[in-house]
């Protein structure tokens, strides 16, 4: 979608080139995109052009010198974010196609996204991620299996806890989607087309990934992206490459240990938690929560209550610019025979720490190198989990402060609180 005018980039475009031709580190955004596509074997490209579209045509021609094959669709009048899709069918060669907005810098494992799309038998897959300002972002509301249930507009009065799940501007569509777009009409992708598909019960999914996808529609964002290209950050975040993670315990680590936390009112962040997690977000480590929540097995609450507590955690962190790349919890407990218990979850499992089930799940999803990763927690169960999984470990003096006495293990180091622990990891002073 290369029709953007880029009013906010006038300082750079001078109204002489359209937004997708704005240079980043010496090359137009669109050229970065096309290079990325070619490297991943996506070589049949259709550029939807409008404002100053001739500048794009003159630069890329038929794409041969860029190693791809380019066709053009010209919008006579702007058709919104989806209207042009009605003109695609004669040019489509495959069952699926990616839709990418012309002001997005990205470096993602497209094959991984494609596998997700296929595995889910999705009709539409939206690349989604958490960001540092969910409170003023449109959000995706998804079921546990990542199926999108609805869009939560930033204009809604959000008097509820929400997940930090934001649509990033890269889509994978079944080519039949074009048949749902009326010809010669302005259509909004999210509000009309995708919302309409969800209403018709078509399978629309969110593919959540920590890889680099950023809108560079302002001058500041272009400059930031230039820095991130030069430092190699874009490439490093691609899930084809091994990732490093900091696994975080929840109660006593991120939030104040309050006996058992099974109602959202009981959940209160440790004072330094948001700052600590913000540091992780900026460091290149993934921030992943792994927590035992036997409160479900003990019959104190339902899975939905734990999920609501996690929405509260994401909302509170998001207000302070921090986010989590994933949250895993174990609702099980092995010991049977208590009066209120929920027998469904009273089972031995792989996921309960110090078991490594949750860590393994994250490793498969994010391609994590455990020898470069850390587990941070307030009791010996967390440290034993790290030993079992082969990560480095940090014990915190908050929460249980290691006084639980469950395992005879030594962490790599002990820190006063989450912030102190994270600083030491990132600075490499352990």
The closest of 367, 365, 329, 321 to 208, measured between CA atoms, is: 365
Which DSSP string corresponds to 264-313?
Answer: GGG--B-TTHHHHHHHHHHHT-EEEEEEE-TTTTTTSS-HHHHHHHHHHH
* Residues 354-364 as b or e (16 or more Cβ within 10 Å = b): bbbbbbebbbe
Selected catalytic residue, list 152, 174, 249, 325: 249
The smaller minimum CB distance to Zn ion, of residues 203 and 357, is found at 357
Query: What is the rounded CA–CA span in Å between residue 123 and residue 147?
Result: 11
User: Catalytic residue at 249?
Assistant: yes
The closest of 387, 412, 415 to 401, measured between CA atoms, is: 415
Q: Least distance in Å: CB of 360 to Zn ion?
A: 12
Structure tokens at 57: 């045509």
The smaller minimum CB distance to Zn ion, of residues 68 and 349, is found at 349
Query: What is the rounded CA–CA span in Å between residue 18 and residue 345?
Result: 57
The smaller minimum CB distance to Zn ion, of residues 6 and 386, is found at 386
Task: Please report the sign of the dihedral spanned by the C-alpha atoms of residue 216, residue 221, residue 227, residue 233.
Answer: negative
Cis peptide preceding 29, ω within 30 of 0: no
Query: What is the rounded CA–CA span in Å between residue 112 and residue 219?
Result: 31
Structure tokens at 269: 């962040």
The smaller minimum CB distance to Zn ion, of residues 290 and 330, is found at 330
Q: Least distance in Å: CB of 306 to Zn ion?
A: 12
The smaller minimum CB distance to Zn ion, of residues 75 and 361, is found at 361
The smaller minimum CB distance to Zn ion, of residues 237 and 352, is found at 352
Q: Least distance in Å: CB of 349 to Zn ion?
A: 3
Query: What is the rounded CA–CA span in Å between residue 42 and residue 416?
Result: 49
User: Catalytic residue at 188?
Assistant: no
Task: Please report the sign of the dihedral spanned by the C-alpha atoms of residue 32, residue 34, residue 39, residue 42.
Answer: positive
Q: Least distance in Å: CB of 247 to Zn ion?
A: 16
Q: How far is CA 47 from the centre of its chain?
A: 26
Instruction: Give me the helices (H) in 290-417, please.
Output: 303-319, 357-366, 380-389
The smaller minimum CB distance to Zn ion, of residues 91 and 347, is found at 347
Which residues are within 8 A (CB) of 83 and not within 5 positions of it... i.e. 6 or more apart?
Answer: 75, 181, 182, 184, 185, 186, 187
Selected catalytic residue, list 251, 325, 378, 400: 251
Q: Least distance in Å: CB of 109 to Zn ion?
A: 29
| Phi, psi (deg, nearest 5) at residue 152 | -110, 100
Q: Least distance in Å: CB of 296 to Zn ion?
A: 10
Q: Least distance in Å: CB of 213 to Zn ion?
A: 32
Which residues are within 8 A (CB) of 216 and not within 5 positions of it... i.e. 6 or more apart?
Answer: 22, 24, 29, 103, 104, 105, 222, 225
The smaller minimum CB distance to Zn ion, of residues 39 and 406, is found at 406
Q: Least distance in Å: CB of 357 to Zn ion?
A: 6
Binding site for Zn ion (CB under 5 A): 330, 332, 349, 351-352
Enumerate the active-site residues.
249, 251
């Amino acid at each position: 979608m290369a029709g953007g005018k880029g009013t906010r980039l006038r300082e750079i475009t001078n109204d002489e080139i359209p937004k997708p031709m704005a240079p980043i580190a010496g090359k137009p955004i669109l050229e970065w995109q096309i290079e990325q596509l070619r490297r991943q074997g996506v070589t049949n490209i259709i550029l939807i052009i409008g404002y100053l579209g001739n500048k794009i045509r003159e630069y890329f021609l038929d794409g041969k010198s860029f190693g791809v094959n380019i066709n053009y669709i010209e919008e006579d009048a702007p058709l919104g974010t989806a209207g042009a899709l009605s003109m695609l069918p004669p040019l489509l060669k495959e069952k699926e196609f990616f839709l990418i907005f012309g002001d997005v810098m990205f470096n993602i494992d497209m094959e991984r996204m494609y596998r997700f799309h296929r595995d889910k038998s999705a009709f539409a897959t939206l690349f989604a991620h958490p960001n540092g300002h969910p409170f003023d972002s449109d959000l995706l509301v998804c079921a546990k299996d990542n199926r999108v249930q609805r869009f939560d507009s930033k204009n809604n009065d959000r008097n509820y806890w929400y997940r930090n799940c934001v649509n990033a501007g890269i889509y994978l569509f079944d080519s039949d989607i074009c048949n749902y777009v009326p010809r010669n009409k302005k259509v909004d992708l999210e509000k009309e087309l995708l919302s309409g598909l969800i209403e018709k019960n078509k399978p629309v999914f969110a593919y959540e990934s920590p890889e680099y996808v950023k809108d560079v529609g302002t001058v500041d964002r272009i400059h930031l992206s230039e820095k991130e290209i030069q430092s190699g950050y874009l490439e490093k975040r691609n899930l084809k490459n091994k990732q490093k993670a900091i696994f975080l315990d929840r109660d006593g680590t991120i939030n104040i240990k309050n006996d058992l936390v099974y109602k959202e009112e009981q959940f209160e962040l440790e004072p330094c938690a948001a700052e600590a997690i913000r540091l992780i977000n900026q460091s290149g480590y993934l921030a992943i929560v792994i927590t035992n929540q036997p409160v479900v097995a003990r019959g104190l609450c339902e899975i939905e209550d734990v999920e609501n507590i996690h929405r509260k955690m994401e909302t509170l962190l998001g207000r302070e610019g921090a986010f989590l790349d994933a949250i895993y919890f174990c609702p099980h407990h092995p010991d049977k025979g208590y009066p209120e218990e929920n027998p469904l979850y009273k089972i031995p499992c792989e996921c309960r720490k110090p078991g490594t089930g949750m860590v393994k799940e994250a490793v498969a999803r994010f391609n994590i190198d455990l020898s470069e990763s850390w587990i941070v927690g307030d009791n010996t169960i967390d440290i034993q989990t790290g030993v079992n999984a082969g990560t480095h470990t940090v014990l915190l003096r908050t929460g249980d402060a290691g006084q639980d006495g469950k395992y005879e293990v030594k962490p790599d180091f002990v820190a006063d609180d989450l912030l102190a622990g994270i600083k030491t990891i990132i600075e490499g002073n352990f």
